[in-house]
Structure 1
Amino acid sequence: MTNSGRNKLDQSFIELDDSEITSKLPREILLRIFSYLDVVSLCRCAQVSKYWNILALDGSNWQKIDLFDFQRDIEGPVIENISQRCGGFLKYLSLRGCQSVVDQSLRTLALHCHNIERLDLSDCKKISDHSTSAISKHCRKLISINLESCVNITDLSLKSLADGCPNLTEINISWCHQITENGVEALSRGCNKIKRFSSKGCKQINDRAVKCLANYCSGIEVLNLHSCDTITDQSIIKIAEKCFQLKQLCVSKCPELTDNTLLSLAQHRSCLSTLEVAGCNQFTDLGFQALGRNCKFLERMDLEECNQITDSTLAHLAMGCPTLEKLTLSHCELITDEGIRQLAAGGCAAESLSVLELDNCPLITDLTLEHLVSCHNLQRIELYDCQMITRAAIRRLRNHLPNIKVHAYFAPVTPPPISGGQRPRYCRCCEIL
C-alpha cells in the first residue's frame, strides 16, 4: 500500500463517529481486545473517541495494573482514582518503586478493591503498618504481597496479615529490618498456606522464626534466608524434616551453617532444584557429596566462596545431578582443571550446563576451556581474575561454541620504560570478550 493510501485509510478511520465504530466493532469485542492491553495502550485508546474512552476506562479492563514501566513517581490522588474506577475488578496491582505513595492512598485502595489478590509494594518507603492493617481488614482474598524494602514495616504488619489474610501463599519482607521472630511466628500461625517466603537481609530473623515456618507452613516451596546470619543448622534441619515440597532454598551469607545442613537436605529433600549457599564457608566436600548422591533434580547451585570444596565435589555433582544448568564456583580456590574435566565428562555438563561461573579460581588454566568444548549447551562462562587463562584458549573455545559469552579480565601490560623523551603508550587495562 502506498503512503497516500495509508493516509486516506487513517483519515477515514479518524472521521468515524461513535456509531460507526460501534457497528464495526461491538462493545463486547472491543472490551475483549482492550482486556489484553497494558496501561499505556489503554490510555492511548481512551483518546480515540468518547466511546472508546468509556470502554478503555471500564473497570473490567483494569484487573491487572503495573505502574513500574509507566510512571514511578505516582502521587496519592492517582492511586485513589485508580481504586475508585477499578473497584472490585482489580486483582493485581504493582506499585513497585512508587516512593510517594502514603498510607492514606493504600487505605482507599483497600476499601474499594476488596478482591485484590496480588499486591506489590516493594520500595514504597513511606507506607507503614497502617497500610497493611487496612489491607488485611478489607482484602481477605489476598494471596501474594511484596513488602521488600518497606522500611517502616514492623511485626504489627505480619500480625495484621495473619489475622485478615488466611489465604496468603507468598510474602516478601526482604530488607524490612524491624521485623523479628515475633512477627514471623504470628504470620506462620495465621497463614499456614504460605509457599514462598523471602526475608533477605532481615538480621532479626533467627532460628526460632525459621522453626515456626517449618512447623506451621510445611507446604513451603521457596525459602530465601539470604544474610539472616544468625541462623544455625538447627532451623534448616527442621525445614528439611518438615517441608516436603521445598524446591528452592537460599541460605547465602549464613556463616553459622555447617555440613550438617547439607547432610539433612540430602537426606530429606530429594526434589530440591535450586540451592544457593554463597559465603557459607564451613561447607566441605562431605556435604556436597551427599547432595550429589541424593538430590537428582538440582538445576541451579551457587557455591561462591565455599572455599573448602575441592574437585571431589564436582565429581559427585557430575555423577549425581544430570539436570544441572547453572553452577557458580567463584572464589572456590581449590578447584582445578581436573575438577572441570570430571564435571564435563560426567554427563550433566555436556547435556544441560548452560552457565558456569569460575571467577577468582586461581588454579584454572587453559585446560579447563579444552574440557568444556564438549559442553554443547554452554551459553556463558565467567573467568574474571583467572590469570592462567589466555586469549588464545578463549578463541579456541569460541571456535567450537560460537554463541558462547565469555567474560574475562586481563591485567594491563606493564609499559616499557620511558626513553629518549618519548611519551609512553598506554594500552587498555581490561578486555571483556
Structure 2
Amino acid sequence: MPWEIAQITTKIHLHDLPEALLQQIFSFIEPTRARNSASLVCRRWRDLERRTRSSLSLRGNPFTIPYPPSPFPSFPSLSSLDLSNLSPWGCPLSNTPLLVGPTLPDKFPGVNSLKLYSRDPTALISLTHHWPKLKRVKLVRWHNRPSGAGITIGSDLHPLFENCGEIEEIDLNEFYCWTEDVTEAIRSYPLVAKGLTGLDLMLANATDGFRASELVSISEVCPNLQRLVAPCVFNPRYMDFVNDETLRKLATNCPHLTTLHLVDPTPINLNNNPGAVNNLPEDNPSAITPACLETLFSSLPLTDFSLDLSHPILEVGPALEALGQRRAGPLVKNLKLGYFQGVCIGKWLHLDGVAVCGGLESLCLKNCADLSDASLSAIARGCTRLSRFDLIGCDLVTELGIQQLAIGLRQTLKDLSVSRCPLISAPALVKVLKPVRRWLERLHLDCIWTGSKAENGGAEHDLLDDNNLNGLCEPQSKRRRYEYEEDLEGFGATGTVNGGCSQWPESWECLRELSLWLPAGEFLFPLRDIGFEDCPILSSITIKVEGNCRAKPDPRTFGLSILSHFRELSKMKLDLGEAIGYAFTAPFGQMDLSLWERFYLHGIGDLFLQELDYWPPQDREVNQRSLSLPATGLIQMCFRLRKLFIHGTAHEHFMRFFLQMPNLRDVQLREDYYPAPENDMSTEMRDESCGRFELALNSRLVLD
C-alpha cells in the first residue's frame, strides 16, 4: 500500500496545480535572474512569469533588440519600467520608432513608474504621449546638456508636465541640468505642480544650488509636497542665499513635508587639511540660526531631516532637544547634520541635544568640531534604536568613543561609516568594533592606516583587547564606570574590567558590504591581519584611492590578491578617479598613469568578480581620464565578469579586448564622460565606434 501511494504521488507534476495557484507562486519569485530562468522552462511558465512581473529593466542597444513576431505576450502587471540602460551610448530613443511607437505601450500598458535615459527632450516627447498616467519618473543624464535650436530653458522637463497631468514624484538625482530649468518648468504648469508630493532635485554634478527665491517659488506652486531634496546656496557671501526667512516660508507653503534634505553642494576637501573644521573662524557662521530650526521642527511633521552646510551653526543642542521632545507629529527617524556645533555635550549622565531623539534609526554627523567621545557615549545611551551611524570629519573623536557607541548599540547597529577623523586609525577602529561584528552588515572606513596617536604626548589609546579600560572610564563618574563594567560582563566579558574580553565574537557573520579609503601610492593593507579573516558572506567591496601619485616611489603590486580568500566577493568598485598622475609623458624617475593602473589592478584576475565599477586615474592638467592598455589587459583576466562599468573614456581597439571575456554581458561608459564628438581630434570612442562595439558584444553567444 505505501508503495502504491508513492507511485501515485510521483506522477503529480507542478503543472497539475490550478492556474490561479501557480500564478500566485510565480508572484513570490523576486530575484531577477531566477525569474528569467523560470521563463525559459516552457511557454506556459514564460506566460505566467510575464503576467506576474511587476518591474523590468531593459538593456542593450535599441537598434539590435530582436522583436518577436506577433502575438507577443504582454506584461499586464508591470508597473515599473527602467529604460536608463537601454541606450548607454546616448542614441536618442526617438530614432527607434518601432520600439518607442507601438511596441512599448502595447507590451507594458500599466506602467506608472518610469526611469529613462534622456539625452534630449525627444525621448520624453515620444514616451509620455503613450503613458499619460505616469506617477513617478526618474531621468538620467550624466553629461552636459546638448546644444541645439530646440534646447531652451526648461525644455528637458516640459514634455513631462505637458503630457502627464497625474505626475506625483520626480527624481533628478542623476540628471544633469540647471536649477533654472527646474524652476521654469514647475512654474509653467501650476496645476500639475499642485499634485506633486515628491521632488528630488539634487542634480548630477551640481556645483551650485537653488537660490532662496527659486526654492520659495517651487514651494509656492507645490503646496502638497511631502518629500523635498535639493542643493541650496547657504553662503552669506552670495546674493539671494537661503536663510531663516527662506526656511520659514518653505514650512508655511509646504506644511505636509515629512522628508526635507537641503545640502550645500560646495566641495570641501578635508583630507589634505585635517584641522579645517576646528580652524573655521567664529565670525563666519551660517545664516541659519537655532531659533529658526526650532520653529521649523515645530511646524513640520518631519521624520527625515538633513541639513548639510558649509558654515557652522552654533549651539544647536536646545533645538535638537525640541525636535526629540515634541509631542505633535511622528518621531524623527533619520537625521543628517553638517557643520552643527553643540550637537551633544554628553556631560555626566545627562542626555542633551541629539541624544534626546530616542526614535532615531539613522544618524549622520558631519564636521561637528566639538563632538567628543563623551558625546558618542550619550548618543548610544539615548538613541537605542540606531541601526545606521555615519561619522564624518569630527576631529575630537577617538577609537574609544566608537567603542562606547558599539557596545551601547550592539543589538541594533547594522551600518557604520567613519570618515576623515584624524585621531582614528583603521586597524584600531576594526579592533574596537568586536562588540558589533556579529551584526554589522555594512562598514565604511575612511581613516588613516597608521597607529592612532593622542594629542597628549603621542601615546596610543588603550583598546578593549589590551585588557585595560581605565583610560576609557577615566573621564566618567564612578557610577558610570561601574555601569560600564557591568555592561561588559553582561555581554560576555570574563572577570572584572581588567580581566580581558575573550568572549567577543570574531566572525563578521552578516557583513555584506565593505568600503575602504587609501592614500595614493600605498598598498592595500592585509585585511586578515586587522580582523577581517572571517567574512563568510562578504559580497561587495569599495576601494577609493585619493592623492598625488607623482611624487611616490616605484611600487610593485597594490595587493588585490589578498581579497581572493573572500569566496563570496562578486562586486567591486575601484575608484581611482582622485588619484592624480602623468597622462602621457613623465619626467625622469616618474611613472605615467599606465604604470600606476598596472600597479593598482595587478591581481584582479584572481578574484571571483561578476560586476566591476572602475574609475581610471586622471591627469587634471590635460583633462585626461582614459583606460590604458595595461588596465584593459588586466581587467580582461576577470573571466567571470558579467557587468563592467567604466567611468571614463576609452579607445575602441582597447574595448575590443573585452569581447574575449566569455561571460561579459553589459559594458558601459558612465559618469560625465561621453563618446567624443566627430570634430574632436582625439582617438577616443565616438558614437559609431560605440555602436560597433555594442553590436559585437551582443552578437556573442553567452551560455548564461
How would you bin the TM-score normalised by the shorter chain? Answer: 0.7 to 0.9
* 2:102 matches 1:77: no
**Equivalent residues in 2 for 1:152-231, closer than 5 Å:** 153-175=181-203, 177=208, 179-200=210-231, 206-207=242-243, 208-227=245-264
SS in structure 2 at match of 1:147: strand
- What amino acid sits opposite 2:416 in the alignment? V
Aligned-pair CA distance for 1:157: 1.7
**Equivalent residues in 2 for 1:242-261, closer than 5 Å:** 242-244=299-301, 246-260=302-316, 261=319
Q: Following the alignment from structure 1 to structure 2, what is the Cα–Cα distance between the partners of residues 32 and 253?
A: 48
Decide whether the 8 Å contact of 2:388 with 2:414 is kept in 1: yes
**Equivalent residues in 2 for 1:266-305, closer than 5 Å:** 266-268=324-326, 271-278=331-338, 280=339, 282-286=341-345, 289-305=351-367
* 2:140 matches 1:114: no
* 2:448 matches 1:385: yes
Partner deviation per Cα, 1:319-347 (whole Å, 9 max, x = no partner): 1111222323343221234423432333x
* 2:113 matches 1:55: no
Partner of 2:163: 138
Q: Following the alignment from structure 2 to structure 1, what is the Cα–Cα distance between the partners of residues 321 and 416?
A: 26
Aligned-pair CA distance for 1:80: 6.7
- What amino acid sits opposite 1:171 in the alignment? L
Decide whether the 8 Å contact of 1:155 with 1:182 is kept in 2: no
Partner deviation per Cα, 1:93-131 (whole Å, 9 max, x = no partner): 2124x3x223x4434444443111111124373564134
> Which stretch shows the higher mean deviation, 123-132 or 293-302?
123-132
Q: Following the alignment from structure 1 to structure 2, what is the Cα–Cα distance between the partners of residues 304 and 77?
A: 44
Partner deviation per Cα, 1:156-177 (whole Å, 9 max, x = no partner): 2221343323221111222475
- Counterparts in 2 of 1:351 and 1:143: CA distance versus 1, 3 Å: closer
- Counterparts in 2 of 1:238 and 1:158: CA distance versus 1, 3 Å: farther
Decide whether the 8 Å contact of 1:214 with 1:238 is kept in 2: no
* 2:507 matches 1:401: yes
Decide whether the 8 Å contact of 2:80 with 2:112 is kept in 1: yes
Partner of 2:320: 262
SS in structure 2 at match of 1:93: strand
SS in structure 2 at match of 1:318: helix
Decide whether the 8 Å contact of 1:273 with 1:298 is kept in 2: yes
Q: Choose from 45, 51, 56 the match for 1:32.
A: 51
Determine which structure has the larger helix proportion and give its number: 1
- What amino acid sits opposite 1:238 in the alignment? T
Q: Following the alignment from structure 2 to structure 1, what is the Cα–Cα distance between the partners of residues 265 and 160?
A: 27
- What amino acid sits opposite 2:288 in the alignment? T
Aligned-pair CA distance for 1:240: 0.8
Q: Following the alignment from structure 1 to structure 2, what is the Cα–Cα distance between the partners of residues 27 and 383?
A: 47
Q: Choose from 378, 381, 388 the match for 1:326.
A: 388
Aligned-pair CA distance for 1:294: 2.4
Q: Following the alignment from structure 1 to structure 2, what is the Cα–Cα distance between the partners of residues 173 and 383?
A: 28
Decide whether the 8 Å contact of 2:346 with 2:378 is kept in 1: no
Aligned-pair CA distance for 1:264: 4.1
Aligned-pair CA distance for 1:186: 3.5
Q: Choose from 91, 107, 113 the match for 1:92.
A: 113
SS in structure 2 at match of 1:189: helix
Q: Aligned residue pairs: how many?
A: 389
Q: Choose from 353, 356, 362 the match for 2:423.
A: 362
Determine which structure has the larger strand proportion and give its number: 2
- What amino acid sits opposite 2:85 in the alignment? D
Q: Following the alignment from structure 2 to structure 1, what is the Cα–Cα distance between the partners of residues 265 and 292?
A: 12
Aligned-pair CA distance for 1:81: 6.0
Structure 2 stretches lacking a partner, 5+ long? 1-41, 235-239, 267-285, 453-459, 467-501, 524-552, 564-704
- What amino acid sits opposite 2:506 in the alignment? H
SS in structure 2 at match of 1:342: helix
Decide whether the 8 Å contact of 1:159 with 1:183 is kept in 2: no
Q: Following the alignment from structure 1 to structure 2, what is the Cα–Cα distance between the partners of residues 111 and 365?
A: 54
Q: Following the alignment from structure 2 to structure 1, what is the Cα–Cα distance between the partners of residues 428 and 156?
A: 58
SS in structure 2 at match of 1:232: coil
- What amino acid sits opposite 2:116 in the alignment? L
Q: Following the alignment from structure 2 to structure 1, what is the Cα–Cα distance between the partners of residues 428 and 216?
A: 52
- What amino acid sits opposite 1:182 in the alignment? S
Aligned-pair CA distance for 1:363: 5.9
Aligned-pair CA distance for 1:313: 1.0
Decide whether the 8 Å contact of 1:344 with 1:350 is kept in 2: no
- What amino acid sits opposite 1:374 in the alignment? P
Decide whether the 8 Å contact of 2:52 with 2:77 is kept in 1: no
Partner of 2:549: none
SS in structure 2 at match of 1:71: coil
Aligned-pair CA distance for 1:378: 3.0
Partner of 1:3: none
- Counterparts in 2 of 1:123 and 1:200: CA distance versus 1, 3 Å: farther
> Which stretch shows the higher mean deviation, 377-386 or 24-33?
24-33
- Aligned alpha-carbon RMSD (Å): 4.5
Structure 1 stretches lacking a partner, 5+ long? 1-22, 414-423
Decide whether the 8 Å contact of 2:256 with 2:300 is kept in 1: yes
Decide whether the 8 Å contact of 1:225 with 1:250 is kept in 2: yes
Partner deviation per Cα, 1:61-93 (whole Å, 9 max, x = no partner): 775331222323141515876654355744222
SS in structure 2 at match of 1:259: coil
Task: With the length of structure 2 as denominator, give the TM-score of the two structures.
Answer: 0.47
- Counterparts in 2 of 1:66 and 1:307: CA distance versus 1, 3 Å: same
Q: Following the alignment from structure 2 to structure 1, what is the Cα–Cα distance between the partners of residues 335 and 423?
A: 24
Task: With the length of structure 1 as denominator, give the TM-score of the two structures.
Answer: 0.72
Partner of 1:68: 84
Partner of 1:317: 379
Partner of 2:691: none
Aligned-pair CA distance for 1:153: 0.8
Partner deviation per Cα, 1:9-37 (whole Å, 9 max, x = no partner): xxxxxxxxxxxxxx975998586267665
SS in structure 2 at match of 1:339: helix
Q: Following the alignment from structure 2 to structure 1, what is the Cα–Cα distance between the partners of residues 295 and 159?
A: 34
